[in-house]
Structure 1
Amino acid sequence: MLTAERRQFILEILRRDKKVLSSELSAVLKVSEDTIRRDLRELAESGFLQRVHGGALLPSPALASYADRQKQAPKEKEAIARAAAKLVCTGQVVILDGGTTTLQVARHLPLDLQATIVTNSPPIAIALAEHPQIEVVMLGGQLYKKALVNVGATTVEALRMIRADLCMLGVCSVHPEFGISVANLDEAHVKRAMIAGAAEVVGLATEEKLDTAAPYVVQSIHALTYLVTAPTVSDRMLTSYKALGLTIIRDESA
């Protein structure tokens, strides 16, 4: 089998099974594990997969620009936002992470809701500026332009002073075995601080982000209290998440 054919086969297996193992590919393709590792490395460099110990997973779709991500799965994000917004109660302090899905959550908060929203996202702060009852706390830091969020030591230090009731986490990638991950190291530190500062953590994930991985690990899946996803996601796809004791929320009215 030619190299190109072998790599195409690897990608087909990855799309079908959501992961590949080096040892299994070596046996099926009758080549050494060194050859498979080289294939995976070069496919990862081209953005086709994310390498993990022993194999590879699908890559995160959140590697695209903020503008491009706003165009991805708009109906899914609105459904997720409707379900997530219902988790916010009057009087709560809520950390609202950056992202295009969390922006939709901000837009779906009821106009009579009295709460404090802490965010590192300029778009979210602007979206809530006209809300009559919500107090907005904007976290400072260095603007990570690709994701339009503030990151860095200043952001992390500010989060250490906050004890929130709820954290709405914008999920770049989530996997039952490899946990929550992102494409930027500074953003990983900020998300970790958000999780540490909240009593409950809500992960917001469209279907394309499930069972994927990015280079920088935030926390294990056990850091989440709830996983809010789209109603179109199949029960089969969510089985492994439920098995870990994670509460799954979907807006079935969508």
Structure 2
Amino acid sequence: MIRDTSGRRQQISTMVREKGSVQVAPLAERFGVSMQTIRKDLHFLAKRGIAERSYGGAISADAVNFPAEPAVEAKRAINIDEKARIGALAAAMVRPGDSVVLDSGTTTLQIAHHLPDDEEITVLTNDLDILCALARKERITVVMLGGALRRRNRAFYGAQTESALDDLHVDKLFLGVDGFDLERGITTHFEPEAMLNRKMVRAARQVIAVTDRSKFGRVCLHRILSIGEVDDLVTDAGEGEMRGAAERFGFRLHCA
């Protein structure tokens, strides 16, 4: 057990740089100190630019390569055609009788636009723009997850949003992506979004990540899940670009 503060923090700093990320609970066990002590250590490292705090731990500051989150208006203007193709292909994966979750985002919004207006399809979402798009369809069943509105991306988050998923089981989750890195997984800028997304993942029988190729290799601060937890990936990348990753991690690849 290492209770010397400076020595412990030096070792944690080395671990963060070598591994890319660390978690509070394993560190507390390793060093024989409380989790509160480890949180103070990580806060110390964050103040010195060595690490950035993330849910349950910290990630190397060097690993975060896309620190600024664009506003939703800017996101709508990026890769419009690619997102439309991805949305159409993803929407074709929805079958009559399916219950699906559409995560917030401009790519998942395209799925909403392309979904057939079928009364046997149920869609849950926390995204205000997706709600508006689906409200124009007369037959599809729409369930809005409540919560507090975050105006930056026009989506709802918080305890109320998460509790709405407690007793629900859905067929498919279409998960938007801020960062998609083979080693560091799927990440996002906003911690409450990562927490909500993980709950969506637990509620879904099939997890389908949807992203254009511009998100590949990007790492944001908050990790949602590992690539190995994804069942399907719908993207505009050529099949050759991601075929090796699909075989390595075991997900099905769909190229728009």
* TM-score greater than 0.5 by the shorter chain: yes
The two structures have a TM-score, normalised by structure 2, of 0.74
The one of 220, 239, 248 aligned to 1:243: 248
For 1:229, give the aligned amino acid.
Answer: T
Alpha-carbon contact 1:169-1:202 (below 8 Å) kept: yes
Residue 159 of structure 1: CA displacement? 1.1
The two structures, once aligned, show a CA RMSD in angstroms of 2.7
The one of 180, 185, 204 aligned to 1:198: 204
Residue 57 of structure 1: CA displacement? 5.6
Question: 1:86 — aligned with what?
Answer: 92
The one of 95, 106, 110 aligned to 1:100: 106
Unaligned runs of 5+ in 2: 1-16, 19-48, 53-57
The two structures have a TM-score, normalised by structure 1, of 0.75
Alpha-carbon contact 2:64-2:220 (below 8 Å) kept: no
Matched, 1:59 2:66: yes
Alpha-carbon contact 1:201-1:225 (below 8 Å) kept: yes
Alpha-carbon contact 1:57-1:211 (below 8 Å) kept: no
Alpha-carbon contact 1:176-1:241 (below 8 Å) kept: no
For 1:154, give the aligned amino acid.
Answer: Q
- CA distance, structure 1, for counterparts of residue 233 and residue 134 of structure 2: 24
For 2:135, give the aligned amino acid.
Answer: A
Matched, 1:184 2:190: yes
- CA distance, structure 1, for counterparts of residue 248 and residue 225 of structure 2: 18
Residue 54 of structure 1: CA displacement? 9.0
For 2:252, give the aligned amino acid.
Answer: T
Q: Which runs of 4+ in 1 moved over 6 A?
A: none
The one of 151, 160, 181 aligned to 1:154: 160
Alpha-carbon contact 1:89-1:113 (below 8 Å) kept: no
Question: 1:164 — aligned with what?
Answer: 170
Question: 1:132 — aligned with what?
Answer: 138
Q: Residue by residue, what CA displacement relative to the aligned partner does 1:110-139 show, whole Å, maximum 9, x if unpaired?
A: 234630100101111110112122110001
Change (3 A) 1:123 1:214: same
Change (3 A) 1:113 1:228: farther
Residue 223 of structure 1: CA displacement? 2.0
Kindly, what percent of the aligned residue pairs are identical? 32
- CA distance, structure 2, for counterparts of residue 208 and residue 243 of structure 1: 21
